[in-house]
Amino acid sequence: MNPQEAVEAARFQTKHMVASFDDHAIERNVLLLDERIPQGTIQQLELMGHKVERRSRWGSGSAPTAVKMKPDGVIEAGADPYAFRYADGW
């Protein structure tokens, strides 16, 4: 994926471990899944014992940006449109 495709991809988070980016307790087997993840995948995860919570792509809790420096000196960037981010270069 290029940087833009990567930051626009469907996302998942787990609450199984204590997070370093927000303050939550351990919630074993809890997965927060982006609405774009296929229903069949969600059903398989639930069959494995995961507790699935769905999130909108507009409220995923993250807002990534990415920069890629290519060997030829070209810079590629991507920014999350679902969190109103943008990439700018010069």
pLDDT in tens, 78-87: 998 888 888 8
pLDDT in tens, 5-44: 999 899 888 877 776 566 767 778 888 898 999 999 999 9
End-to-end CA distance of the chain: 22
Tokens of 16: 């199984």
Instruction: Tell me which architecture the domain covering 3-83 has in CATH.
Output: 4-Layer Sandwich (3.60)
- Each domain of the chain, given as residue ranges in start order, spans 3-83
Q: What is the DSSP letter of 60?
A: S
Q: Widest CA span of the chain, in angstroms?
A: 49
Residue 7's CB is within 10 A of a number of other CB atoms, namely 23
> Which of 86, 83, 66 has its CA nearest to residue 75?
66
Is the pTM of the predicted complex or chain greater than 0.85? no
The predicted structure's pLDDT at residue 90: 66
